[in-house]
A and B are shown apart, each in its own frame.
Chain A
C-alpha cells in the first residue's frame, strides 16, 4: 500500500470534516443502541442464570413428583439407602408480616457442592443454620426489608437473589406446612441415575434434566426479543446514514480515484486502501458506539430491572458490568454494518473506468426501474407479512410479521412519494410550483434513505405508543374492576387474623378473604385463590368468558375460574376438568383477565379452598365500606385495632402504586422510542446536509432567472415539510397495523393476554410535532447556508473554467 496515495485519500476528510463527523456518528449511533440493548440483555440473562443456579440448583438434575404433590420423606430415605446421592429441597412462598418471601429449604449436609452456595467455613456456621429457631441466608437488601417482621436471625450472602432466602429444611417444613413432603430432590452431578431406576422406587417420580435456560429466561424471551428488535431497528436506521455518507464521499473522490489510478495505483491497491480506511473508521466509530451503548444501557438498566420485576417477577440487578463479549460483538457489528452499507460504493470503485467523469449526483440517482424493483420487493414483503399473520403462529412469527411490515413499507415509500410528487407536479400551473414538485422528486433518491428511516421510527413510535396506551387504558379500567374493595388489610399472623375476622364484620359492609395457595396445575406453577360469595365479584370481576350462573357455581364449589394466560396457553378450556394441586379436579366455568401476571391463576370458592387446603394462610382481606367511611375505618384499624400502617392499604394508594409500576414498566420502551426517533432525525439532518452540498448547480440557474436566495431557502423548507408530511401520513396507518400485530399477535404469544386496540390521535399529533421540529432542525443549517450564500459561490456555477 502506498502511504503517499493513502494520505492523499485521507486528505479528503481534512477538507470535509462535517462529512467525517456524519460518517463517524452514523456508525457510532448504529452501534450504540444495538450494543446497549445487547448489554442489557446479557446482563439480565446472566442474572437469570445466577438466580437459577443459586435458587434452583439449575445445573443439576432434579427428581420431582409428576403430579406436583411432592415426594414423601420415605421415598427420599429409600433413595439414600440405595446409595443415590440426592438431597431434599422444600420451597414455597411465605408472607412474613407484610413481606412475601420465597423460601428454599435445603439440607446442608447432603446438598451436592455444585448446588450449594452457602459458605459454611466452620462448625459454628452450620449449627447456626440448622438451629431450631432457624437462620435465614439472604441478601442484605432482602434482610433490610424483612427486619422487624421475623424472629429468625439473618446471615448475609449477596449471591442470594433479592426476595429469596435459604433456610434449613426442617425450618422450611415447619414454616411452609409441608408435613414432611419434599418438593424436589437434587441429584449430584456425578450420580448416574436412570428414569427406570427412579420409576422402580415410585411410579410417580420423574427426572428433570438440568435446563440450559432457566424458566424465567424463557418467560422473558419476548421482552428481550422486543429490546433486540428495537436495537436492530435503530441499527438499520444508523446504517442508512452510513450508506448515504459513504456513497457521497466516494463520489466526491471519484476524480481523486481516477487521478491515483492514472498515476499508477492499481485498482486492487485502491480498493485495499479504501477498505483499510473504512475499517479504521468503523473500528474508531464502533468504539465510540460501544461506549455510548454502555452509557445508554447504564441509564436504561434500572428501568429494565423494574420492567422485568413488574412483568415477570424476575430479579435483575439494576447495575451493569462490563463484559468483553458484547464489546467485541459491538465492534463486530460496527465493522459488519460499515461493510454492508459501503459494499455498493466499493463495488462501483471496482468497476470504475479510468476515464469516467465524476458525477456528483450519480450516487443519489436511481433509475425508475430501480425504484420499481424496490417497490415490488416491498410489496412482496408486505404480502409475506399478511400470509405470516394469517398462517403462522408463535412469537418469532409475530416478530417476523413486524419485520416484513416495516421493511416492506419502507421499501415502498420512495415509489409512493414519487407517485405523489408526480401527481402534484401534473396538477401545478405555476412555473415555480411545478419546478418545486419536480425538484423535490429529483431530491427523492438522495433523501429516500433518510425518509425510510423516518418512516420506520415514526411508525414504530405510533405502533408501540398505541399498544402501550391501549394497554394503559385497559389496565386502568381493569384495576377499577379488580381493586373494588376500599381497603386491603394484612395480618402478621394467624392470631391477629382471627382477631380481624371477629372485628371487621361489625365495622364494614363485607369482608373478602384473599387467601391463596401455590401449586402445580398440569405442570405449570399456579396460584389458587378462594373467593367469598359476594356481590363485589358478581358486579366487578373482569370476566372474559363464562358459563351461566358462574358465580353460583363457584360459590357451590362446582367450578373454577382460570386466568386468561392459562386459557390462551391451552392449559385448560371452558367446561373441561382441570387437575388441581392435591389430586382433585375442578371444572372450568369462566375465564378472567389478569394483566401483569406471568403465571397461571385459578379461582375457586372460599369454602372449597379451605376444604382442599386447610393449611392455607388466612392473613389477607379486602374490606368493603362506603367510600366516605374508608379513611375513618383505616384510622380505626391502625389506632383502635392496632395494625401497623403498612398493613392497611386503601384502594386509591393501591391503584396509584399499580399505575406507577405500569408506567415504570414502559419507561424503557418510551426511551428506546425516543432514541430511535433521534437517530432517524440525525439521518434526516445528514442527508439534507449532504444534499445541500451538491444542490448549488441545481439552484443556481433558478436564482439566475430571478428567484431570490431567500425564496430558494423558503422552498427548501417547504420541500422538507412536504416530505415530512407525506412520510408522517404514511406512518399513521403503518403504525396502526403494527399496533394491531403487537396487541393481537405478539402480546398474546408473549404474555398470554389480548388487549382491545384503541387509537390516540392526540398522541400522533404530538409525535408529528416532534418529528416536524426534528425535520425543521435538520433543514435549518442547509437553509441558513443557502439564504446567506455569497453570490460569488452561485456565480462559480456559471464559470466556464470550473
Chain B
C-alpha cells in the first residue's frame, strides 16, 4: 500500500458546537491503483482528501504514506511531503493566475526538483494545450484550466494524485475527456489516484470505489 489510513478521526468546531466529520476511517490505496471516493455532501470526502494531502491534521489515527506517518510530521515536513509525494487537483482548478500555462505546468515539478522538459512537452501535447502555452489562466475556458491543473500535477510525477471533484465544474462531455486524460497520464506516470466524485458513472471507470457515509466507510 502506498497510502494507509488507520482509525482516522477529524472534527471541526462550528457555531452549533463541534461536529465530527470523520469517525474512524480505515482504508488504503495501492501503488498505481485508482480509487474513487464517493458519498453524500458533508460525508467527509474532501476532509479525508485534505488529510491525505497533508493540508490538514487528523485529530487521531495514523495516515501512513510510503511508510511514514503524516501525523508525526512538522509543518515543514508536511510542506516537503506536499512538494514531493502527492499532487492535488481541485474542482476550482486553483491555478496561479500570474503564470502562463506552460509555467503553471512546470511549477510543481520544479518545486519537487523533478523538472523534465520532455515529459512536460508530452503532457502539454497530450492535454491539447500547445496553442495555449503562453496564455494566462484567465484566458482559458474551465475545461482548459482543469487540463492545466492536471498537467501541473502529473508533471511532478507524484506517487499519489489526490483529486477533489476535478470534473465537477465541467460539462459531461468535457468531464469525460478530462478524466480519460487523467487516467491515461496517471498510468503513464505510475501514479496512484484517489478521486473524490459524486458521480457513480465516473467512479465505475476506476479500479475501486470507496463509499463514505456519515463519516465512516460504508
Inter-subunit contact A798/B82 (CB<8 Å): no
User: Which residues of B have CB within 8 Å of A707?
Assistant: 79, 83, 111
User: Which residues of B have CB within 8 Å of A432?
Assistant: 110-111
Q: Which of A770-800 contact B (CB under 8 A)?
A: 791-792, 794-795, 797-800
Inter-subunit contact B56/A705 (CB<8 Å): no
User: Which residues of A have CB within 8 Å of B117?
Assistant: none
Over the window 703-731 of chain A, the binary record of Cβ atoms lying under 8 Å from chain B Cβ atoms (1 yes, 0 no) is: 11111110000000000000000000000
Binds A, one of B98-106, B177-185, B209-217: B98-106
Over the window 123-166 of chain B, the binary record of Cβ atoms lying under 8 Å from chain A Cβ atoms (1 yes, 0 no) is: 00000000000000000000000000000000000000000110
Inter-subunit contact A800/B164 (CB<8 Å): yes
Complex: A430 Cα to B97 Cα, angstroms: 18
Q: Is B81 an interface residue (CB 8 A)?
A: yes
Partner of A795 from B50, B75, B76, B103 at Cβ < 8 Å = B50
Complex: A555 Cα to B134 Cα, angstroms: 82
Q: Which of A177-228 contact B (CB under 8 A)?
A: none
- Give the Cβ gap from B68 to chain A, nearest Cβ, in Å: 15
Inter-subunit contact A791/B165 (CB<8 Å): no
Q: Is A620 an interface residue (CB 8 A)?
A: no
Complex: A704 Cα to B81 Cα, angstroms: 10
Q: Is A583 an interface residue (CB 8 A)?
A: no
State whether A431 and B55 are in contact (beta carbons under 8 Å apart), knowing that A706-B81, A797-B94 are contacts in the complex.
no
Partner of A802 from B79, B92, B106 at Cβ < 8 Å = B92
Majority SS at the chain A contact face: helix
Q: Is A702 an interface residue (CB 8 A)?
A: yes
Complex: A800 Cα to B98 Cα, angstroms: 22
Partner of B96 from A361, A439, A800, A802 at Cβ < 8 Å = A439
- Give the Cβ gap from A360 to chain B, nearest Cβ, in Å: 12
User: Which residues of A have CB within 8 Å of B53?
Assistant: 704
Inter-subunit contact B41/A705 (CB<8 Å): no
User: Which residues of B have CB within 8 Å of A800?
Assistant: 46, 91-92, 164-165, 168
Inter-subunit contact A795/B110 (CB<8 Å): no
State whether A706 and B98 are in contact (beta carbons under 8 Å apart), knowing that A431-B106, A800-B168, A801-B41 are contacts in the complex.
no
Q: What residue in chain B is nearest A708 (Cβ atoms)?
A: B79
- Give the Cβ gap from B114 to chain A, nearest Cβ, in Å: 11
Inter-subunit contact A791/B55 (CB<8 Å): yes
User: Which residues of B have CB within 8 Å of A791?
Assistant: 55-56
Q: Is B25 an interface residue (CB 8 A)?
A: no
Inter-subunit contact B88/A704 (CB<8 Å): yes
Q: Is B119 an interface residue (CB 8 A)?
A: no
Q: Is B80 an interface residue (CB 8 A)?
A: yes
Inter-subunit contact A438/B103 (CB<8 Å): yes
Inter-subunit contact B97/A798 (CB<8 Å): no
Q: Is B108 an interface residue (CB 8 A)?
A: yes
Complex: A794 Cα to B98 Cα, angstroms: 19
Q: Is A72 an interface residue (CB 8 A)?
A: no
User: Which residues of A have CB within 8 Å of B90?
Assistant: 798
Partner of B110 from A430, A702, A802 at Cβ < 8 Å = A430
Partner of B95 from A434, A701, A792, A795 at Cβ < 8 Å = A701
Q: What residue in chain B is nearest A421 (Cβ atoms)?
A: B98
User: Which residues of A have CB within 8 Å of B103?
Assistant: 434-435, 438
User: Which residues of A have CB within 8 Å of B165?
Assistant: 800
Complex: A435 Cα to B99 Cα, angstroms: 7
Complex: A361 Cα to B97 Cα, angstroms: 11
Complex: A794 Cα to B82 Cα, angstroms: 14
Q: Is A442 an interface residue (CB 8 A)?
A: yes
Inter-subunit contact A702/B79 (CB<8 Å): no
- Give the Cβ gap from A316 to chain B, nearest Cβ, in Å: 55
Complex: A707 Cα to B164 Cα, angstroms: 20
Complex: A698 Cα to B93 Cα, angstroms: 11
- Give the Cβ gap from B135 to chain A, nearest Cβ, in Å: 13
Complex: A708 Cα to B54 Cα, angstroms: 12
Q: Is A697 an interface residue (CB 8 A)?
A: yes
- Give the Cβ gap from A356 to chain B, nearest Cβ, in Å: 15
Complex: A451 Cα to B82 Cα, angstroms: 35
Inter-subunit contact A798/B111 (CB<8 Å): no
User: Which residues of A have CB within 8 Å of B110?
Assistant: 430-432
Q: What residue in chain B is nearest A798 (Cβ atoms)?
A: B90
Inter-subunit contact A706/B111 (CB<8 Å): yes
Inter-subunit contact A792/B92 (CB<8 Å): no
User: Chain B: residues with CB nearer than 8 A to chain A?
Assistant: 12, 41, 46, 50, 53, 55-56, 75-76, 79-84, 88, 90-92, 94-99, 103, 106-108, 110-112, 115, 164-165, 168
The 9 A-B pairs at the shortest CB distance, nearest first, are namely: A706-B83, A431-B110, A442-B98, A706-B82, A438-B98, A701-B94, A439-B98, A708-B79, A706-B79
- The contact sample of 7 A-B pairs, CB cut-off 8 A, is A431-B110, A705-B88, A705-B108, A705-B111, A792-B56, A798-B46, A798-B55
Q: A431-B106, A435-B96, A797-B92 are in contact. List 7 more A-B contacts (CB 8 A).
A: A361-B97, A434-B103, A442-B98, A704-B53, A706-B112, A795-B50, A800-B165
